[in-house]
Amino acid sequence: MVETAKIIQAVCYILDRIGRANKLKLVKLLYLADKCHLVRYGRTITGDEYWAMDYGPVGSTAKDILGFDEAFLSQEFEYASAMLRKVDQHDFEAVAACDIETLDALSETDIEALQMILKKFGRMTSSDLISYTHRYPEWAQYKKLFTIKQIKREKIDTGELLSTLPGDPFEVSLDHIEESKRILTGISE
């Protein structure tokens, strides 16, 4: 289940630590944090639905939240506005300090995954993050179709996010990935 408050708090956490960032960088960092948490603990942070798009995997609700559309956010608009500020068409910054006490929707493991992602990827540019996330199989399987402009987006099953690349800060053994898959699906051996 998508948790809008968790997405807003995760974005606030990221912005509080890296400063101003554009929408593209934020959706990439959220994707990596969700992927990290899923691989390590069998669930994503946000519960968002992911789509392969030209610029890589994108959480649809995160993308909509960062559209800062009052009609879409409805009752969460005031909350989002208290946490995040849209500086210009694409850039955001945190409104207030987003410390652990403020971020009550995020668990300890959510924060751990966000910290891990920020340490490894927080200084990367949007372009670098696009290139990096294009290496994951959940996006790479559609590369040719994007190249020839045959598709605009393709749904990614959450289970497909259970992949790592060599050097990922969240790289784990295949046995661990299988355990995370069992947690995700609720199917035990």
Alpha helices, DSSP H only, in 42-173? 60-65, 70-73, 76-83, 108-121, 126-133, 137-140, 143-147
CA distances in angstroms from 110 to 11, 13, 142, listed in the order given: 12, 11, 29
Q: How confident is the model at residue 178 (pLDDT cuts 50, 70, 90)?
A: very high
Domain membership of residue 40 as a residue range: 4-185
The encoded tokens of residue 25 equal 């960088």
Please write the tens of the pLDDT for every residue from 138-147.
999 998 888 8
Q: Are 25 and 63 in contact (CB under 8 A)?
A: no
- Tell me, what's the pLDDT at 156? 96
Which residues on adjacent β-strands are paired with residue 57?
Answer: 52
Please write the tens of the pLDDT for every residue from 100-117.
777 889 999 999 999 999
Report the domain count for the chain: 1
Mean pLDDT, the chain, rounded, equals: 91
pTM above 0.85, yes or no: yes
Q: Are 32 and 124 in contact (CB under 8 A)?
A: no
Mean pLDDT of 69-95: 86
Please write the tens of the pLDDT for every residue from 114-130.
999 999 999 999 999 99
- Tell me, what's the pLDDT at 189? 59
Q: Are 37 and 113 in contact (CB under 8 A)?
A: yes
Q: Using CB atoms within 10 Å of the CB of residue 148, give its burial: 0 to 12 exposed, 13 to 18 middle, 19+ buried.
A: exposed
